[in-house]
Chain A
Amino acid sequence: GQNIDQPTEMTATEGAIVQINCTYQTSGFNGLFWYQQHAGEAPTFLSYNVLDGLEEKGRFSSFLSRSKGYSYLLLKELQMKDSASYLCAVLDSNYQLIWGAGTKLIIKP
């Protein structure tokens, strides 16, 4: 079966750095997405990785290792507005998105 694993909840302090991990077992791989979803709102696109390595976009970076079936989202200089759920999704061999359950990130002052 296809499976995406990410921690259910994480807590971090304002101004700090946090890393949210995602591991996957899917039938094929055509890329990995990270989305941010604030409570009661729609998911919004953060990043897409298809090659191994780190993609940096401002305070957010996303890393991929295809051989390990592993990705992480790194958030630097955390702000209160970063409190949200972060969703990992993998595009499988049929170009269907397989979604993780999301990681709820709580930022404390």
Chain B
Amino acid sequence: DVKVTQSSRYLVKRTGEKVFLECVQDMDHENMFWYRQDPGLGLRLIYFSYDVKMKEKGDIPEGYSVSREKKERFSLILESASTNQTSMYLCASSPGTSDTDTQYFGPGTRLTVL
């Protein structure tokens, strides 16, 4: 079974803090994704990566950055957290063997910025 893990299920931070969200997958997947999920909205893509040290902006990259130094790990960084970044953050990975790969999700991190 594919396993995608995220470093924290719940996180509370203060405005202006630097926040790191870690995601690890154990199935040697090529592709990794970071989404945020807010009530009434669909999943929105923040950043994605198709290879180590490679990153592409998604639909809402402002205020975020990412790092992929190793194939299995994809980190999301909030350089200076703001209250409008309070959300559920979901990491996903997919094999990268075809354009129609299924994405597998981690359990999510619910981030609250005070």
A interface list, Cβ under 8 A from B: 4, 8, 30-31, 33, 40-45, 48, 50, 87, 89, 91, 95-102
Contact = CB atoms under 8 A, between A and B. Distances in A.
B45 interface: yes
A95 B90 contact: no
Given A87-B43, A102-B42, A30 B99 contact: yes
Nearest to B42: A99
Interface string B92-108: 00000001101111111
Interface residues of B, number: 17
B96 to A, nearest CB: 11
B102 A48 contact: yes
A101 B42 contact: yes
Contact of B108 (A4, A41, A50): A41
- Chain B binding surface SS class: loop
Interface of B: 4, 40-45, 90, 99-100, 102-108
B59 to A, nearest CB: 8
Contacts, number: 46
A30 B107 CA distance: 27
Contacts of A4: 42
Contacts of B107: 41-42
A55 B103 CA distance: 19
Given A31-B100, A48-B100, A96-B45, A43 B40 contact: no
B103 A42 contact: no
A42 B100 contact: no
Contacts of B90: 42-43
A91 B103 contact: no
A40 B100 CA distance: 26
A96 B45 CA distance: 9
